[in-house]
Amino acid sequence: MGKPTGFLEYERQLPQDRPADERMKDWAEFHTHYDIEHLRKQGARCMNCGVPFCHTGDPTVGGCPLGNLIPEWNDLVYHGKIEEAYKRLTKTSNFPEFTGRVCPALCEGSCTAGMNGDPVTVKNIEVHIIDTMFEQGKVQPRIPQKSTEKRVAVIGSGPSGLACADILNQCGHKVTVFERSDRVGGLLMYGIPNMKLDKKIVQRRVDILQKEGITFLTDTEVGKNYSAAKVVNEFDALLRRNSSEGFAGGRKKRC
Ligand code: SF4
């Protein structure tokens, strides 16, 4: 816990959005970032609760479904250790630049500080951490150091497909992602407007995943212009979306 009295000293504050008359003229994102001193105060509001409801890791209970280690990176942010916070954040989150922008922030809804006041600004801290690392050039492709020579097909390149592909690729498997649209990203690319999630941010991550070795086949719909039998023959394993349960495969499983 960074500052034991932080939650008593500092109010919850979010950075000022771009003025409405300015943002009406374009489609660009309208949330902005704090400077580091403001951010540290927001991190200081975290009480590192004995039972941190912000990250139960169980969406049926509440808190962050990814199991993000929220009090740990809040503490690191308070101490100005943004790169350490980034390392902690990416232990559980594949794409914080997406979740930090468009996640509904169940963590904040569950935050103990919200019981008799305002919750910690977890989502804003998250996006600040990852955007700072991108600005500083510290988010670079991580080329897998080993290969299992196993081929895995992932059907669909939405957020869960990309996360599965990322984890499997880092495990050393040869991953191919099939996408029926002309661009990669699914909901991220076609379902969320630029003002919330700029498509350049999605493409930036896709480019990194490509450099890390993942193959993306766009305009390719399994069962239509790419036969399902061919997929079964060519790959050792297959992941596809189950409409009620999301992707099969360990959500947080790491190598
Ligand atoms: S519940 Fe809120 S105050 Fe408690 S550890 Fe999580 S973010 Fe910090």
| Mutual angle of helices 199-211 and 159-170, in 10-degree steps | 20
How far, CA to CA in Å, does 219 sit from each of 138, 156, 207, 232, 247? 32, 11, 17, 19, 21
SS3 176: strand
Q: How many A from CA of 126 to the centre of ligand 1?
A: 14
**Using a 6 Å cutoff on CB, does residue 47 contact ligand 1?**
yes
Phi, psi torsion values for 215, nearest 5 degrees: -100, 130
Mutation test residue for ligand 1: of 55, 120, 124, 125, the one with most atoms within 8 Å of CB: 120
Q: How many A from CA of 74 to the centre of ligand 1?
A: 9
Residue 53 Cα: closest atom of ligand 1:
1
Phi, psi torsion values for 72, nearest 5 degrees: -70, -45
**Using a 6 Å cutoff on CB, does residue 103 contact ligand 1?**
no
Positive or negative, the Cα torsion across 75, 77, 88, 216?
positive
| Residue 78 DSSP one-character state | H
CB count, 10 Å around CB of 135?
10
Long-range contacts of 221-227, Cβ-Cβ distance < 8 Å, separation of 24 or more: 221/178, 221/180, 222/153, 222/155, 222/178, 224/180, 226/178
CA angle 146, 152, 154 (to 5 degrees): 125
Residue 110 Cα: closest atom of ligand 1:
1
Among protein residues, the one whose CA lies closest to atom 8 of ligand 1: 46
Contacts with 149 (C-beta within 8 Å, 6 or more apart), sequence order: 174
pTM of the model: 0.91
| CA–CA separation, 146 and 243 (whole Å) | 33
**Using a 6 Å cutoff on CB, does residue 54 contact ligand 1?**
yes
Question: 151-247 domain in CATH 3.50.50.60?
Answer: yes
Residue 45 Cα: closest atom of ligand 1:
3
Per the rule left: phi > 0, alpha: psi between -120 and 50, beta: everything else, 186 is left
| CA–CA separation, 230 and 106 (whole Å) | 41
Domains 6-135 and 151-247 share a fold: no
pLDDT, position 55? 86
Token pair, residue 23, equals 């943002």
Sequence length of the chain is 255
| Mutual angle of helices 70-78 and 82-89, in 10-degree steps | 170
Give the helix/strand (H/E) hosting 233.
helix 228-234
**Using a 6 Å cutoff on CB, does residue 120 contact ligand 1?**
yes
Q: How many A from CA of 127 to the centre of ligand 1?
A: 17
**Using a 6 Å cutoff on CB, does residue 4 contact ligand 1?**
no
Give, for all 255 residues of the chain, the pLDDT tens digit.
Answer: 778 999 999 999 999 999 999 999 999 999 999 899 999 999 999 999 998 999 876 767 789 989 999 999 999 999 999 999 999 999 999 999 999 999 999 999 999 999 999 999 999 999 999 999 999 999 999 999 999 999 999 999 999 999 999 999 999 999 999 999 999 999 999 999 999 999 999 999 999 999 999 999 999 999 999 999 999 999 999 998 765 555 554 344 455
Q: How many A from CA of 118 to the centre of ligand 1?
A: 11
Question: 6-135 domain in CATH 3.90.550.10?
Answer: no
Domain boundaries, the chain: 6-135, 151-247
